[in-house]
Amino acid sequence: MNKDLNDNGGQQADDAFRVAYLVAGYISHTLTQAERDELDDWVTASDENMRLFVQLTDEKNIAKGLKERGFYDADKAVDMLKQKIAAQENTRPVKRLPFFAIGIAASLVLLAGLLFFLPQLNKKKVADTTSTTQNDLQPGGNKAILTLSDGKQIVLDTTYGRIIHAGKLDVMNHEGILSYQGQSLAVDYHTLSTPKGGQYQLVLPDGSKVWLNAASSVKFPTTFTGKERKVEITGEAYFEVVHDADKPFIVSKGETYVQVLGTHFNVNAYEDEDALKVTLVEGSVKVSSQVGNKQETVILKPNEQAIVRPNAPLVTNHSPDTDAVIAWKQGLFEFKDAPIEDIMRQVARWYNVDVKYQGKPGHHFNASIKRSVPVSKLFHLLELTDQVHFTIEDKTIIVKP
């Protein structure tokens, strides 16, 4: 797909169809990773693309675009879209999802994209009104500190190769991954910590993998003995646990415990969030938490989320936005109908900044962009809504309506 859509009409229409297809998949959570990357590359290629992405993911704009063209009948709209797809099947070998998988709402987005997107391409490009470009902030990266049982600290972003050799245990550090290989004779406890603006991956002695987000930590033994594998976390971590029926894997944060045999899940336990959230991607987990004088427990199935709030019953969310929850692990920011406060907490951690508000925008925002971009790229995408504006002063971001 061309990133410059202002070429001949045939290619323009073809590219517009592709963009509409990707946007529909984004809304309906059906994009492959390659398609997500393709959409993100297109969105960040120009200011105009960013503006159109905001328009195409705004339900009010979609409804307006359809209504202006007389598409009050959803069935009629979908039938028309099917005809457009059928007409292109022999000329554009693009992998497509079946319509029942996309759903009516996403189909309407496709149609709105075809009808509403093309006229927008001829509009004059808007000037960049973001007041952050000159004082831009660069994104975080692979940064972490390993604290040993004796208190010694190893800065991992400046130390590479084999950093520990003790008996049969080797600890290797390479390209943002800390790996424990073999078994130590004695059980020592190590802590891997990321600062603001940092992330890191850990391979535990049993082969289980842990991804740490910014401002997070995981404490773990150098070898798993006894009848369980237990680690403690702060902040946010994603786990891929190796199955071991004889040794359940337990993640603890305060009085909340997540117990698994082998599975993939995310734990968001930042202190500045209003709740601790455990989101299951695959497998099964048991989440237990102390509520008052009693212990409450829930069993999660894939694409469910346990929500733990202080002095409140344990709650299960049966339809969380799993893609948005784990987007950070995929190197993305993904916000869907998100209040600005939620967005700025992530920004503060990843770009290592403070945030101040001069009035708080009440608008909710949709955005999908790589975490590897300077902060101005994300801010410009949000500012295209004309509902929020940003100023950077040293290491402080000022948010205004």
Indicate the domain borders of the chain: 9-121, 330-400
- State the DSSP code for 391: E
Q: CA neighbours within 13 Å on the CB side: how many for 340?
A: 23
Strands 389-393 vs 396-400: parallel, antiparallel or unpaired = antiparallel
Strands 217-221 vs 229-240: parallel, antiparallel or unpaired = antiparallel
> 40 in helix, strand or coil?
helix
> 216 in helix, strand or coil?
coil
Distance CA 38, CA 342 (A): 26
**How far apart, in Å, are the Cα atoms of 359 and each of 186, 219, 297, 352?**
55, 39, 40, 22
**Concatenated DSSP letters for 316-339?**
EESS--HHHHTGGGGTEEEEEEEE
Q: What is the pTM of this model?
A: 0.72
From start to end of 103-227, where are the E strands? 141-142, 145-147, 153-155, 161-166, 169-174, 177-181, 189-193, 198-203, 209-212, 217-221
Tokens for 184, please give them.
């130590």
CATH 3.55.50.30 fits domain 330-400: yes
Give, for all 401 residues of the chain, the pLDDT tens digit.
Answer: 555 444 444 454 456 667 777 877 776 667 788 888 888 888 878 777 777 777 667 655 555 554 444 444 444 444 554 454 445 444 443 434 343 333 444 445 555 554 444 444 444 333 344 444 567 899 999 999 999 999 999 999 888 899 888 778 889 999 999 999 987 778 899 999 999 999 999 999 999 999 999 999 999 999 998 899 999 999 999 999 999 989 999 999 998 999 998 899 999 999 999 999 999 999 999 999 988 788 899 999 999 999 999 888 999 999 999 999 999 999 999 998 899 999 999 999 999 999 999 987 778 888 888 999 999 989 988 888 888 999 999 899 999 98
Site of tokens 């770009």: 351
